Structure 1
Amino acid sequence: MMLIRPIQASDWDGLWALAHKTGPGFTTLQPDEPAVRRKLDWALESFEADKPLKEALYLFVLEDTDTGEIAGISGIESAVGLQDPWYNYRVGTLVHASQGLNVYNPIKTLTLSNDHTGQSEVCTLFLDPEFRRDGNGGLLSKSRFMFMAEFPHCFTDNVIAEMRGYSDSNGVSPFWEGLGRHFFSIDFAQADQLSGQNKVFIAELMPKNPIYTNMLPDDAREAIGQTHDNTTPARRLLESEGFRYSGYIDIFDGGPLLETRVQDIRIVRESRYCKVRIGEPDGGSERYLLANSRLRDFRCCAANASLLGNHIVTISADMAKVLNVQDGDSLRVAPMSARRSF
């Protein structure tokens, strides 16, 4: 059975193994031991805090309960940029026009921005390639929204998601090669890794004036707002839940930033409490997200379950054990797919 739960100190080996599989461009989890240990410690502190931290990191692992293997990781930051600056480019338009010359040229621009400072972010989503099947990616991503629905006081009203930008089969980012390299004079992978440790150098080296995109190489311009091939499914999933591209991109690889209001996320809107009845789901059961209501012992699974009316959910004894609930307890329940409803 596949289970989402908060990360624990004992998950170090699994986390470190995943860090070696993410590849260039995955800023939030690279094989840098001090950085990964800081991330783990931050997450442990966030879950153990008596009251929500101003900048908390809630990290979740996807565990195969049959083997104990860590198959993936996902996270939520309660607020970005309160201590370290948080940058992106705002994509805008400037019009150069002359009636006398009969010229009208709208030109796209990139302007360095901190517009999303203080907002919550869903982040650090990575699924081991060996487990990219059976809806595991959907569970890994959507379980975060069950957590946000249960603990809204931990997050801001708006939530963002940075998507990994396009790079070719050799890991080369055309956006970086066409823009960033001119100011940083280092390889994309090195800049990306440094950004996860200290963002001060970004402010020191990036141009302060708007950049005219028509002066960029064609492949760099075409990469603006495009996702990495491995990230496209994650983008589609977020868009199906209500996230939208709003004209902001990553300053390194040009990947899109998606955003929405927490209350507009489909799972947050549609989830509800149901009383647990332990038994065997009937043949007409459908697939749902099921989550308990404990912060430090949060548990979420995707499973077939039978609903009696809108307020009683029948789950198997094995599922009840994994979710750590008993007969009569409450579970938060949401349809796994937008095509299904209560």
Structure 2
Amino acid sequence: MMVIRPVARSDRNAITELATKTGVGFTSLQDDESQLNDRIERMLRTWDQQAPLSEQGYLFVLEDSDSGKVVGICGIEAAIGLSEPWYNYRVGTLVHASKELDVYTQMPTLFLSNDHTGYSELCTLFLDPQYRHGKNGHLLSKSRLLFIATFQERFADKLIAEMRGVSDEHGHSPFWENLGRHFFAIDFAHADYLTGVGQKSFIAELMPKHPLYVDFLSDEARAVIAQVHPNTIPARKILESEGMRYEGYVDIFDAGPTLEAYVNDLRVVRKSQTRTVEITSAEPTGEIHCLIGNESFAGYRAITGTPEITESHILLTREQAQALHVTSGDTVRLAPLFAQENLS
């Protein structure tokens, strides 16, 4: 059974191994042991309720309970940009007009922005390639939304997710080569690494503050604005199916799109319900694929299944109950795993 649970110190080696598989452009999971250790400790302080809002974050792992192997990771930042500026580009328009000359032109532009300061962020979604099948990707991504639905008071009203932009296997980013490299004599891979270890604001502060005309970029660079890395297409589709949308903001380094939504508009949040647990020895007879999570903050667990559901109860097998760390009489929160399904 595949189970979502909070990260533990004992997961360091497994997460380090996952980090070696991400490739250039996966900013939030760098192959850097010191940075990873610091981040895990910050997450643990959050669950111990000892971290200020500016430092609060949540990191979950996907564990194969049969083997005990950690095969995926995902995260949430509670409030971005409170300890250091949060930068991205807002894609906008400047108008140049002259009534006397009968000239009117609209120029697409990039404006350096801090508009998402204070928002919550979905981040660090990575699934081992060997486990990219079945419902594993949906569980890994959407479990964060169920956690937010359960503990909504701990998050901002609006949520964003920065999508990985276009770069090749050699770390070549068309957007960076045409824009960022003019201000920094470093490769995109190095800029990506510095961002991942917490130096994004330092780099961003050296970027030009005035609007940049998109038409001055190369055709190759313009073509990748708001486009995602091929490996990120499934993750983008999942988030869009939950109600997140591109609203005109892109990453300052690779121009990957930022998806956003109000938390209350997210499908999992809107459709989630609570039920009382009843443990059964019978095989599951439900027809709806459900995302199921307990209501324990520090001991959070989430799984998928097709349980029988009544108006007041959910019937879980003993194995499912053990995976969720619940017993008969406990309450769980559940939501349809897929958009086309409904609980009632």
TM-score by length of 2: 0.96
1:297 to 299, 308, 317: 299
The equivalent of 1:151 in structure 2 is 151
CA separation of 1:282 and 1:21: change in aligned 2, threshold 3 A: closer
Q: Tell me how far apart the structure 1 counterparts of residues 121 and 265 of structure 2 sit (CA, whole Å).
A: 15
CA separation of 1:94 and 1:86: change in aligned 2, threshold 3 A: same
User: What is the identity, as a one-letter code, of the residue corresponding to 1:170?
Assistant: H
**Matching of residues 309-328 of structure 1 within 5 Å:** 310-328=311-329
CA RMSD of aligned residues (A): 1.4
The equivalent of 1:160 in structure 2 is 160
1:134 deviates by 1.0
The equivalent of 1:332 in structure 2 is 333
Superposition misfits of 4+ residues, deviation over 4 angstroms: none
Q: Tell me how far apart the structure 2 counterparts of residues 112 and 28 of structure 1 sit (CA, whole Å).
A: 21
The equivalent of 1:306 in structure 2 is 308
Q: The residue matched to 2:236 in structure 1 has which SS?
A: helix
1:169 deviates by 4.3
Q: Tell me how far apart the structure 1 counterparts of residues 86 and 52 of structure 2 sit (CA, whole Å).
A: 21
Residue-by-residue CA offset, 1:89-118 (whole Å, 9 max, x unaligned)? 011001112233332211110011111111
How many residue pairs are counted as aligned between the two chains? 341
Q: Tell me how far apart the structure 1 counterparts of residues 180 and 199 of structure 2 sit (CA, whole Å).
A: 17
The equivalent of 1:97 in structure 2 is 97
1:87 is the counterpart of 2:96: no
**Matching of residues 35-114 of structure 1 within 5 Å:** 35-49=35-49, 53-114=53-114
Residue-by-residue CA offset, 1:188-229 (whole Å, 9 max, x unaligned)? 010111112223432442011100000000010111100111
Q: The residue matched to 1:186 in structure 2 has which SS?
A: coil
CA contact (8 A) 1:281 1:306 kept: no
1:33 deviates by 1.4
Q: The residue matched to 2:58 in structure 1 has which SS?
A: strand
CA contact (8 A) 2:56 2:78 kept: yes
1:55 deviates by 2.6
CA contact (8 A) 2:42 2:55 kept: no
Seq. identity, %: 52
- Note the residue ranges of structure 1 that are not aligned, 5 or more in a row: none
CA contact (8 A) 2:24 2:171 kept: yes
The equivalent of 2:193 in structure 1 is 193
1:52 deviates by 6.6
Q: Tell me how far apart the structure 2 counterparts of residues 288 and 200 of structure 1 sit (CA, whole Å).
A: 40
The farther-off stretch of 89-98 and 288-297 is: 89-98
User: What is the identity, as a one-letter code, of the residue corresponding to 1:305?
Assistant: P
CA contact (8 A) 1:84 1:198 kept: no
Q: Tell me how far apart the structure 1 counterparts of residues 59 and 286 of structure 2 sit (CA, whole Å).
A: 34
Residue-by-residue CA offset, 1:268-327 (whole Å, 9 max, x unaligned)? 11101111121225544321011000010000001111112x321111111011111111
Q: Tell me how far apart the structure 2 counterparts of residues 58 and 71 of structure 1 sit (CA, whole Å).
A: 17
User: What is the identity, as a one-letter code, of the residue corresponding to 2:235?
Assistant: A
Q: Tell me how far apart the structure 1 counterparts of residues 320 and 35 of structure 2 sit (CA, whole Å).
A: 35
1:51 deviates by 7.6
1:288 is the counterpart of 2:290: yes
